[in-house]
Amino acid sequence: MAAAVANGDKGFEVPKLEIKFTKLFINGRFVDAVSGKTFETRDPRTGEVTARIAEGDKADVDLAVKAAREAFDHGPWPRMSGFQRGRILHKFADLVEQHTEELAALDTVDAGKLFAMGKAIDIPGGANLLRYYAGAADKIHGETLKMARPCHGYTLKEPVGVVGHIVPWNYPTTMFFFKVSPALAAGCTMVVKPAEQTPLSALFYAHLAKEAGVPDGVLNVVPGFGPTAGAAISSHMDIDKVSFTGSTEVGRLVMEAAAKSNLKPVSLELGGKSPVIVFDDADLDMAVSLVHMATYTNKVDLSDYPAVPSEIMCTSTICSKFSSILHINSAILQGEICVAGSRIYVQEGIYDAFVKKASEMAKKSVVGDPFNPRVHQGPQIDKDQYEKVLKYIDIGTREGATLVTGGKPCGENGYYIEPTIFTNEEMSIAQEEIFGPVMALMKFKTVEEAIQKANSTRYGLAAGIVTKNIDIANTVSRSIRAGAIWINCYLGFDPDAPFGGYKMSGFGKDMGMDALEKYLHTKAVVTPLYNTPWL
C-alpha cells in the first residue's frame, strides 16, 4: 500500500505570484551578469521553468567583493554603533514579516516546501533570527585583562571583514538568515551565493535589506553555480571569511580553495546521518510519531500525530512562537534536511511493534502539491535529487535490506517519492546521507550496543534519544559524538542554541552567540602603566 497522493486534488487555491527579482544584487542595485548569461529555476511540483535568473560567475563575484570591501573599509556599517545596526535589523525583520505570504510562496515554487509551513515557521523564523541578533548587536564587547606584568590590557571584538556565504537549497530562508543575521550584527559586509535551485527568496531579501536601511555594498547576492560563483568566493583574496552549508564533498573543496588563497577562516555545516535511539521503556506511540517526524520532516502537526505530547515536542525551526507552531496544518517535508534522523535504532523488546506502527503511519502520509493544505509531503527539489533518492532505494533493495513500505515515485508530474522504510543491518542506506524520505530501521539489545552503533558513522551532526530513564538519557547523551542531542524530542532548534557538527559534519556554529563569534576578531591591546619601566 502506497502513501496517498493528492497531486490531482484541485480543491485548494494556489496564490498568484509575481517573480519580481531575477538579477544579481550588487552594491545596492539589481544588475545583469557581466556575461549576460541566465539560468533556469524550475518548479519541483511540475518540473516547469519558473524564471530565468542572472548567472553570476567570477567577474560578478569580483564586482560584489569590491563593493563589499569598499563598504567595509570606508562605509558606515562597521562604524555604526551596535544600537544603530540593531534598529536597522529590527526594521528588516518587520519587512520580512510584512511579506510572509509572498516569501513563503517563493520558497514553495523554488524548493517544493510546504506553503503552510513556510508561512507559519520558515519566514517568521527568519525574522526572529534577525531580531535575536539585532538585540545582540550592541552587546559586543571585549574584556579587561588581569595582566601578570605592570600593564593595562583589554581585548576588542571587531568585525572580521568581508564574508562569503554559500547557502544550500533545502532551507532557502532559514539558511540565509542563519548566516546573514549574525554577520550583519557583527558589522561585517558580505557576498551571498544562494543555491542555483533556490535563488528567488534571497534576491527578495536583498531588496528588503536595502529598504530597511542596510547601506549599499553591505549585502550583495550573486546567484550562480558552485564551480563558478561558489569557487570564486572560496578562493577570493579579498574575502576574509567563508561560511558554507552543504555536502561534505563540496565542503572539502571550499576549505581547500580558502587555504590556497589567503588562508581565510572557514566554517562548515556539512552532511549528516543522524541516529535516533528508541529504548524499550519509551511510549511506543509517541516514539513512532517522533521518529516519523525526525526522518521525513522538520516539523509535525500534532493534530495528525496526537501521540506526541506537546510538552516534549521541540519541533520549532528557529521560531519563538513555540506553542502555536505545533498545530499548523503541515506535517512532513521531503526528508531534505541535514539532521534527518534516518538511522533508527530500536531496542529489541519493542522492535517488531515499532516497525508495524511506523509502516502504518508512513502509509497514511499524503504526498502532493505543497500548496495543498491536505498534503504532508511535497516533491524533492529537482530531477537530480529525485533520481538520487530512487537510486539509493534501489541500492537498499539490491544490498538485501527489507523494504517495508514505499520505495516508488508518486504522481505523473513533478518529483514526488513515497515515504520509504527499510529494515536492514548497517547497509549503505544506513551509512550514507540520502537527503530524501528514506528511513532505515535497526534493532539493538544493550545501551552499550546502542552507543556503539550510533557512533559508527563518519558524521556527527545530531542525534535523538527516546527513553523515560534519566540515567540512560544522561549516559547516552554524553557518549554520542554529535553537535546536538535531543532527548524525547527532535529538531530542538532555537535562536539561542548553537548548532553545528562533529567529525565530517563540519565545524563552527550557527545560531546562538557562538555564531556571532564566527564573524568577530579578538584584538588584544596592552599599555604599560604610568611611570612603569617597560623592561
Q: Which of the residues are catalytic?
A: 269
Interatomic CA distance for residues 253 and 259, integer angstroms: 10
Distances (CA, A) of 149 to 9, 58, 155, 526: 76, 50, 16, 10
Interatomic CA distance for residues 172 and 33, integer angstroms: 22
Q: Of the candidates 228, 286, 238, which has an alpha carbon nearest to the alpha carbon of residue 258? A: 238
> How many residues belong to the chain?
535
Residues 6+ apart with CB under 8 A from 209: 92, 218, 219
Residues 6+ apart with CB under 8 A from 360: none
For cell 546567484, what's the residue?
223
Written as nine digits, the cell of 48 is: 516547469
Q: Phi and psi (nearest 5°) for 429?
A: -70, -15
435: left (phi over 0), alpha (psi -120 to 50) or beta: left
Burial of 469 (0-12, 13-18, 19+ CB in 10 A): middle
Burial of 11 (0-12, 13-18, 19+ CB in 10 A): exposed
For cell 557576498, what's the residue?
191
Per DSSP, the three-state class of 312 is helix
Interatomic CA distance for residues 487 and 313, integer angstroms: 10
28: left (phi over 0), alpha (psi -120 to 50) or beta: left
Q: Phi and psi (nearest 5°) for 533?
A: -60, 135
**CA dihedral in degrees (184, 187, 190, 194; nearest 10)?**
-10
Interatomic CA distance for residues 317 and 322, integer angstroms: 9
Q: Phi and psi (nearest 5°) for 234?
A: -65, -35
Interatomic CA distance for residues 395 and 264, integer angstroms: 39
Interatomic CA distance for residues 460 and 303, integer angstroms: 32
Interatomic CA distance for residues 86 and 167, integer angstroms: 23
How many Å from the N-terminal Cα to the C-terminal Cα in the chain? Answer: 83
Interatomic CA distance for residues 98 and 433, integer angstroms: 36
Q: Are 374 and 366 in contact (CB under 8 A)?
A: yes
Q: Are 233 and 64 in contact (CB under 8 A)?
A: no
Q: Of the candidates 274, 278, 275, 339, which has an alpha carbon nearest to the alpha carbon of residue 466? A: 278
